Amino acid sequence: MSNKGIIQSNKSSFSTLYRLVDMLLITAVLFTLLIILDKKIDSEVMVLLFVNIVSYNLCAEALDLYRSWRTASTTLMIKSVTIGWMISTFVTSTFAYLFPGLVHLDNFIVISWLIISVVALTSWRIVFRQILFHHRRQGHNSRKAIVIGATASGYSLSNQIIDNERLGIIFSGIYDDRTIDRIPHEFSNQIAGNIEDAINKAKNGEIDYVYIALPMSAEKRISHILHLCSDTTASVYLIPNFFMYNLINARWQNVGSIQTLSVYDTPFQGGSELLKRLEDVVLSILILTLIAIPMLIISAAVKFTSPGPVIFKQNRYGLDGKKITIYKFRSMTSMDNGDVVKQATKNDARITPLGAFLRKTSLDELPQFINVMHGNMSIVGPRPHAVAHNEQYRKLVEGYMLRHKVRPGITGLAQVNGLRGETETINKMVKRVEYDLEYIHRWTVWLDIKIILKTVFNGFRNKNAY
């Protein structure tokens, strides 16, 4: 028996071309500069080039840069290329700085190479993309497609095909066995025939793509249609009505010869996990260097203004729901860490005068950068809650525990949208969880950077923190 699943993950036919062109452009820009400036192409050049290409390829994989961009915007494509290049530029520059014995290139050459390369990487993509779009609009390399099933998902797909002519797909109608009076009115004008008509068109070679948009409950019917389609040369696609679920980073995975679809999964696997960890380590080192003296001053202030330890340790849930210990500057006279933890409220008598200032400005959370260095937290992610609060809210808020598919963060999407501090109503926690799940679903390095910048500029004046 073959070890391959019956469904193969979709890869752009241009992905190999894109990788080769990227590497050739990066290399060509550097070599051209060296030749123009009458510099040698030696082992030092090749080491720096190797580091740059490897780091860029890792970033490109993490950002899914080599997927098909047919339906994505040009702006998003340029942004992804730029972010990937910025990160690889940082890695390359850091390598050159840390290992001066290996690299002696002139700074002007390196800077010129990095700037010209990002222009080249984005420019060739824009030009090639426009050529492809023009080619498809002229009717070249086009494919004919039909949809089986007059359903909401089938109707949505047909509209997407019609509205995006640059895809090079010609929509040829929806096919359904129901009579017109049983078909929703908004779909009726697109009905081109019954399912038998659709299969006959595919058998006659008139159709290239068949999209089956029947509900998941129609398993036997779908199986029969697939059997009929096996006697055609058309490419067949299933559109399961997964919109009823809140999918989190769904992807196909092989378990031996069986293919499974993940419904709730983490965005951090492979290259993206490495990229996220690299982001955390590099930024934490820079931030800890900047805040070392302020942290010493705060430590002394906490020690001399109220009795008790400087650092407050509390158990919280981390990645995969495992308990972690987080660090904060102590801001209260009591330190709850048991089965019952009372949230801080306005004018809470437990909060010390200095603690009120630390909590209001978020300075009490600075020691959590040590958690980030340890690897049990991230700079950006869902805020961790006390174990007692987790056990309370997991029973009340649907999807609450999905927050733990990623490492908890010092700041997050919910916090920069004003959801920080006391959650005295269940609606506030529901909204916070919605933002957390949105972050997991939408994660990119660029999103992390935007959240960090918003935290820096807005995080020190939060009226909801007590």
Q: Tell me: the pLDDT tens digits for 200-226? A: 998 888 888 899 888 878 888 888 998
Q: Is the pLDDT of residue 309 over 50?
A: yes
Q: Is the pLDDT of residue 11 over 60?
A: no
The model's pLDDT over 46-58, given as tens digits with 9 standing for 90+, comes to: 888 898 999 898 8
Beta-carbon contacts of residue 362 (< 8 Å; ≥ 6 apart): 459, 460, 462, 465
Mean pLDDT of 74-79: 84
pLDDT of residue 117: 92
pLDDT of residue 370: 93
Mean pLDDT of 16-38: 90
Both tokens of 144, joined, read 């004919």
- Report the distance separating Cα 18 and Cα 300, nearest Å: 56
Quickly state the pLDDT bin for 73 (edges 50, 70, 90): confident
- Report the distance separating Cα 260 and Cα 246, nearest Å: 17
pLDDT of residue 390: 83
Beta strands in 268-373 (DSSP E): 311-317, 323-329
pLDDT of residue 161: 83
- Report the distance separating Cα 272 and Cα 445, nearest Å: 9
Which residue type occupies 143?
R
The model's pLDDT over 385-422, given as tens digits with 9 standing for 90+, comes to: 888 888 888 888 888 888 888 999 999 999 888 877 66
The model's pLDDT over 82-135, given as tens digits with 9 standing for 90+, comes to: 988 988 888 888 887 787 777 677 778 888 988 999 999 999 999 988 887 777
- Give the residue carrying structure tokens 């005068």: 353
The model's pLDDT over 248-303, given as tens digits with 9 standing for 90+, comes to: 666 666 665 666 666 677 788 766 788 888 889 989 999 999 999 999 999 999 98
Integer-rounded Cα radius of gyration of the chain:
28
The Cβ of residue 47 has, within 10 Å, a number of other Cβ atoms equal to 15
Average pLDDT value for the chain: 81
Beta-carbon contacts of residue 194 (< 8 Å; ≥ 6 apart): 175, 176, 177
3-state secondary structure of 202: helix
pLDDT of residue 63: 80
pTM here? 0.61
